[in-house]
Amino acid sequence: MEFSGFFVLLFHVSLCLSVLSVQCRLYDYSIYMHHRELSQISIPPSPAPQPATFSEPAAVFSVLSYGAVGDGFTDDTQAFKIAWDAACQIESAIFLVPKHYSFMIQSTIFTGPCKNGLIFQIEGSLMAPDGPDSWPKTFSKRQWLVFYRINGMLMQGGGLIDGRGENWWNLPCKPHKGINGTTLSGPCDSPVAIRFFMSSNLTVQGLKIKNSPQFHFRFDSCHAVHIDSLYIKSPSGSPNTDGIHIENTNDVKIYNSIISNGDDCVSIGAGSYNVDIRNIKCGPSHGISIGSLGIRNSRACVSNITVTDSVIKHSDNGVRIKTWQGGFGAVSKVTFENIHMDTVRNPIIIDQYYCNTKSCTNQTSAVYISDITYTNIKGTYDVRSPPMHLGCSDAVPCTNITLSEVELLPASGQKILDPFCWNAYGVLMTVTIPPVFCLLEGFPESLPTNDIDQC
Ligand SMILES: *[C@@H]1O[C@H](CO)[C@@H](O)[C@H](O)[C@H]1NC(C)=O
Ligand SMILES: *[C@@H]1O[C@H](CO)[C@@H](O)[C@H](O)[C@H]1NC(C)=O
Ligand SMILES: *[C@@H]1O[C@H](CO)[C@@H](O)[C@H](O)[C@H]1NC(C)=O
Ligand SMILES: *[C@@H]1O[C@H](CO)[C@@H](O)[C@H](O)[C@H]1NC(C)=O
Ligand SMILES: *[C@@H]1O[C@H](CO)[C@@H](O)[C@H](O)[C@H]1NC(C)=O
């Protein structure tokens, strides 16, 4: 259905009303009579010169009205750009990707700021170009759809976003994808499917997204982000396909979502705080992670993160904090609570020796980890690794790790593996299964306070 002509008229009407000239209103009143759809608009009392306070129906900007074809092959990028520019300038606009169509679009930056109340409604399918060979040489290979400097947008709909990542995952520079299972060196950029950058007050809900070449969603330098009811799916062997990655972003809610992929369901990078994650079904995947932080001696500050009421299944990790050696900064005030583990390799893990090459050397600084609480973490672990691994830095111990109601049983067999701790200080509030004897009591006598950067 084509809405745009009708809504251009509607926009004219509302402009006209705001001008509040009597003729204008009389003229438009005759239009009202012919458009029953408009009948919910109340006419402002005449002749009071006040701003109109009635609620306007939204203007819909369907990409079809701007020349998009939606056959899954035609490059519809230009139509999307023009429709965006039009929608962005109108208050309460709906940018519509209509149902029953499939739009192939190239890497695009949707730039704001836009007028208030913008809705990006995805009812049909959005498709990325099919792999690196179809990616224009001059375009960044790091991102597909970017939303930049947007303040206040709702992205939603029953449609599907398809990143068509397979040929990216199989590039010879990806882990073990070179000849005879080698990994070729060199740049290996692959696009993030949906990236929000320097934006705020965003809601993303109800969407399905699959097969991103790299992260599915990435939020960097954003504020006030609410994510709800997403369905994210990629194969378990797809490299770096994190579900939702946030970085330098604060006041984030991630609720009610189902994620399975080849990397972390949710990953939280440097500069993130006030993050609330709830009711996530995660796996197969690499779990929910804070990190990796402190790469190449960088400073990272992450605090006030909660992950609650979630299920993690068939994953390499459950809830993880990972840092490189040699970093600075701190991770503090993190709560993992009411999490069910089903056949997870490292249900509870702190790894301050994270290294994805063979050439990491021991260093004398680290991101300081403190005030980490694990409450009611129950279920089963994959017996290839111990259910708890608290591997803290030699240089800077972890402090105030609290465990309560942790009960983890082997997923198969009777083999109980002892928890592993290294330089980890904390308290057991209840008896745990398996019992933890390796946690150090109290606080370290010589916390190198001068070297610790509390953020
Ligand atoms: C956030 O966006 C919504 C809808 O887009 C808008 O109604 C609200 O006023 C915005 N809030 C802020 C603080 O910008
Ligand atoms: C790959 O392995 C096969 C069998 O081991 C060997 O014959 C072949 O030379 C190898 N190819 C390269 C490029 O290393
Ligand atoms: C921690 O984050 C939550 C939102 O997840 C927020 O409501 C709360 O105020 C934050 N606490 C502090 C001390 O900033
Ligand atoms: C690094 O430190 C660990 C733990 O103290 C030790 O086992 C390892 O041998 C050290 N590695 C090097 C290369 O010094
Ligand atoms: C330990 O961490 C908990 C949870 O963050 C916090 O409430 C408590 O004050 C911390 N204890 C100390 C001694 O810092």
Our mutation pick for probing the ligand 1 site, out of 201, 203, 222, counting the most ligand atoms within 8 A of Cβ, is 201
Our mutation pick for probing the ligand 4 site, out of 362, 365, 421, counting the most ligand atoms within 8 A of Cβ, is 362
Our mutation pick for probing the ligand 2 site, out of 176, 179, 180, 183, counting the most ligand atoms within 8 A of Cβ, is 180
Closest residue by CA, ligand 3 atom 13: 304
Q: What distance in angstroms lies between residue 116's CA and the mean position of ligand 1's atoms?
A: 7
Of ligand 1's atoms, which has the minimum distance to the CA of residue 153?
Answer: 5
Long-range CB contacts (within 8 A, 24+) of 167-171? 167/130, 167/131, 167/132, 167/133, 168/131, 168/132, 168/213, 168/214, 169/213, 169/235, 169/237, 169/238, 169/239, 169/241, 169/262, 171/132
pLDDT in tens, 173-226: 998 898 998 988 878 999 999 999 999 999 999 999 999 999 999 999 999 999
Q: Is 286 labeled as catalytic in the residue annotation?
A: yes
Q: What distance in angstroms lies between residue 357's CA and the mean position of ligand 5's atoms?
A: 35
Sequence spans of domains, the chain: 27-46+57-168+189-263, 284-455
**Same fold flag, 27-46+57-168+189-263 and 284-455:** yes
Catalytic position from the list 286, 314, 340, 389: 286
Q: How far apart are CA 195 and CA 54, in angstroms?
A: 35
Q: What distance in angstroms lies between residue 339's CA and the mean position of ligand 3's atoms?
A: 20
pLDDT in tens, 15-60: 333 333 333 333 333 333 333 333 333 344 444 444 445 556 679 9
> Mean pLDDT, to the nearest integer, of 306-314?
98
**In this structure, which topology does domain 284-455 adopt according to CATH?**
Pectate Lyase C-like (2.160.20)
Q: What distance in angstroms lies between residue 164's CA and the mean position of ligand 2's atoms?
A: 30
> Shortest CA distance to 405 belongs to which of 380, 438, 379, 431?
431
Give the strands of the sheet with 108-111, arranged side by side. 108-111, 143-148, 192-197, 217-220, 244-247, 266-268, 288-293, 317-323, 346-351, 388-391, 420-422
Q: What distance in angstroms lies between residue 16's CA and the mean position of ligand 2's atoms?
A: 74
pTM equals 0.87
Q: Taking 80 as the threshold, does the pLDDT of residue 280 lie above it?
A: yes
Q: How far apart are CA 65 and CA 380, in angstroms?
A: 53
Characterize the bridge pairing of strands 231-233 and 266-268: unpaired
Q: Which ligand is nearest to the CA of 181?
A: 2
Q: Taking 90 as the threshold, does the pLDDT of residue 449 lie above it?
A: no
Q: Residue 91: CA atoms inside 13 Å, Cβ hemisphere, count? A: 8
Give residue for tokens 């006041």.
251
Which of these ranges, 158-162, 173-177, 370-374, has the smallest mean pLDDT?
Answer: 173-177
Q: Which two tokens stand for residue 99?
A: 């149902």
Q: Which ligand is nearest to the CA of 454?
A: 5
Name the E strands within 157-268: 160-162, 192-197, 200-205, 208-210, 217-220, 223-228, 231-233, 244-247, 250-260, 266-268
**In this structure, which topology does domain 27-46+57-168+189-263 adopt according to CATH?**
Pectate Lyase C-like (2.160.20)
Count of C-beta atoms within a 10 Å radius of residue 276:
16
Of ligand 2's atoms, which has the minimum distance to the CA of residue 180?
Answer: 1
Q: Which ligand is nearest to the CA of 307?
A: 3
Q: Which two tokens stand for residue 257?
A: 């979502």
Q: Taking 80 as the threshold, does the pLDDT of residue 158 lie above it?
A: yes
Cβ atoms of residues 232 and 209 within 8 Å:
yes
Q: Which residues line ligand 3 (CB under 6 A)?
A: 274, 276, 304
